[in-house]
Structure 1
Amino acid sequence: MSRTQYLFISLFSLSLVVFAVLLQQFGYQDTPFLPCPLCILQRIGCLGIAISCFLAAGIPALKKLFHLLAAMSACFGVIIAGKQVWLLSYPEASCGIDPLEVWINQFQLVQGLPWLFKADGLCSAKLPAILGLQVPEWSLFWFCVLLILFAVTFFKHTKTE
């Protein structure tokens, strides 16, 4: 992939996180979207993709390494978003109290940036759909698209800009 493509993917991943924070701050259809622990982990996956792609664009000598890290972040996101989509389909599997929330909220980063990393919601909460899909379904879709893109382009040889 070219530097421009890496930068585009980086900005796209950051925009997904910005959209999630806007939903958290302002809600949608008069419903607050409080992030659950799985939502926070998906944000970390998106940030992992964004940072890896930014570094791949900036350090051509290590482009393959950062490409692989971006693919691993996308794979992480697929697993986490897939679990949340499964919980939305089977809400009875959730006990309502997620011990992962306590674990995530104890980190110093959460204390410093609670608006970005603090988990307050339930993973099985059904919220209003956006363009026909729940937020975790959209997240799963974009993680899958990015993972496929990273997998397909990993072995392609391109000239650096």
Structure 2
Amino acid sequence: MNLASPRSLFFLAFLACVAMLGTGFYLQYVVGLEPCPLCILQRIFFAGAGLFSLIAALHGRAPRVYSVLILLSSLAGAGTAGRQIWLQTLPPDQLPACLPPLEFMLESMPYTKIIYTMFHGSADCAEVSWTLLSLSIPEWSLLAFIAFSLFAVFQFFRRG
């Protein structure tokens, strides 16, 4: 199998998404960091990009359709990561209030309100509790989403 074939590259993108999700679960369950609502949304967008990449790798047809879906998922993820980075730069007195736990929101709020609340973020999202090479988790996520977006654009415009 040609490593530079569209199917191979989609499969590598899928593996990269699995690695990103695996890192998030490692930080949650081994290191003990609890994900905020924006972190959860970023995981959903990584899972979406990964799922579309896997389907593209298995299907092998219509790579442009899958490229657009990966691009949309990546741009939405980049938006949530950017929002979280912005929240991390705000002074403490300008941060939105903390949110109730997700389980409580699922039991007591309509889904449209939960989605709005999660996209809005909270003071929990502004906490920087882990860094690598001086970059926080949402900054790493933003870089990954940018890379997935560039990959999707490359796959969209490539020939063959």
TM-score range for the pair, normalised by the shorter chain length: 0.7 to 0.9
Task: Specify the alignment match of 1:130 in structure 2.
Answer: 132
In structure 2, what is the Cα distance between the partners aligned to 1:73 and 1:83?
A: 15
Runs of 5+ unmatched residues, structure 2: 108-122
Q: 1:104 to 1:38 in 2, by over 3 A?
A: farther
Matches within 5 A, 1:9-158: 9-27=13-31, 32-92=32-92, 93-98=94-99, 102=102, 106=106, 122-158=124-160
In structure 2, what is the Cα distance between the partners aligned to 1:102 and 1:38?
A: 12
Deviation at 1:105, TM superposition (A): 5.4
Runs of 5+ unmatched residues, structure 1: 108-120
Q: 1:21 to 1:141 in 2, by over 3 A?
A: same
* Contact map agreement 1:55 1:63 (CA 8 A) in 2: no
Structure with greater proportional helix content: 2
In structure 2, what is the Cα distance between the partners aligned to 1:126 and 1:86?
A: 12
Question: What is the aligned length?
Answer: 140
TM-score by length of 2: 0.79
Q: Give the secondary structure class of the aligned counterpart of 1:122.
A: helix
In structure 1, what is the Cα distance between the partners aligned to 2:36 and 2:51?
A: 23
TM-score by length of 1: 0.78
Q: 1:91 to 1:21 in 2, by over 3 A?
A: farther
Deviation at 1:132, TM superposition (A): 1.6
Amino acid at match of 2:137: V
Q: 1:75 to 1:88 in 2, by over 3 A?
A: same
In the TM superposition, structure 1's runs of 4+ consecutive aligned residues that sit over 3 Å from their partners are: 101-105
Amino acid at match of 2:64: K
Amino acid at match of 2:11: L
Deviation at 1:156, TM superposition (A): 1.4
Deviation at 1:103, TM superposition (A): 8.3
Task: Report sequence identity in percent.
Answer: 27
In structure 2, what is the Cα distance between the partners aligned to 1:102 and 1:33?
A: 15
* Contact map agreement 1:37 1:104 (CA 8 A) in 2: no
In structure 1, what is the Cα distance between the partners aligned to 2:157 and 2:138?
A: 30
